[in-house]
Amino acid sequence: MTEKEKAKNGNLYNPILDNELTAERFYVKDLCFKYNNILPSNIDERRKILNQILPSSDETTNIEQPFLCDYGYNIILGKNFYSNHNLIILDTTTVKFGDNVLVGPNCGFYTAGHPINIQERNSGLEYAKPITIGNNVWLGGNVTVLPGVTIGDNSIIGAGSIVTKDIPANVIAVGNPCKIIKRI
């Protein structure tokens, strides 16, 4: 099994030892650099580069610069996706966003994690768990979503929250760790 397959399956893998993963990361990071250095008013050029980074993006996708990700092809965007400045997605496995998702500034979605075992961690091994964001979700500024989390449809995540566990549909949740404060 390749390191890429191990990552997709949630097994420990080493992203540094795999030439394919290394080449894919550099390719997308170069595109992100290019995207982030295009004049914001040059909408057509921004869209062209963003479509290369994120194959699932379309004319309803709007990601303000700067934007960084690991691979791009693991990110699935629904219709009407909007992210404010400084979005970071560590997409070592699938990160799926539903339709009509709003992401505030300085948000991060991190599928990668590291083993508790010191020898495994020091050897460069990591794991990946998918993130799923439902339809009509609003994430305030400075929200961090950790590996394996699902956020249900119509929910709101308050600014500054760190989402460590699943959040159901139709709630407002805030804090560190993020907890439900109201049903909507």
pLDDT digits (tens, 9 = 90+) for 141-171: 999 999 999 999 999 999 999 999 999 999 9
- Which residue, among 179, 177, 78, 74, has the nearest Cα to 129 in the 3D structure? 74
Q: Which residues have a catalytic role annotated? A: 114
pLDDT, tens digit (0-9, with 9 covering 90-100), for 117-149? 999 999 999 999 999 999 999 999 999 999 999
| CATH of residue 52 | 2.160.10.10
Taking each helix axis from N to C terminus, what angle separates 43-53 and 19-36, rounded to the nearest 10 degrees? 170
pTM (2 d.p.): 0.96
Going from the C-alpha of 74 to that of each of 69, 114, 130, 171, 172, the distances in angstroms are 10, 19, 9, 27, 27
Residues of the domain holding 41: 3-183
What's the number of domains the chain is made of?
1
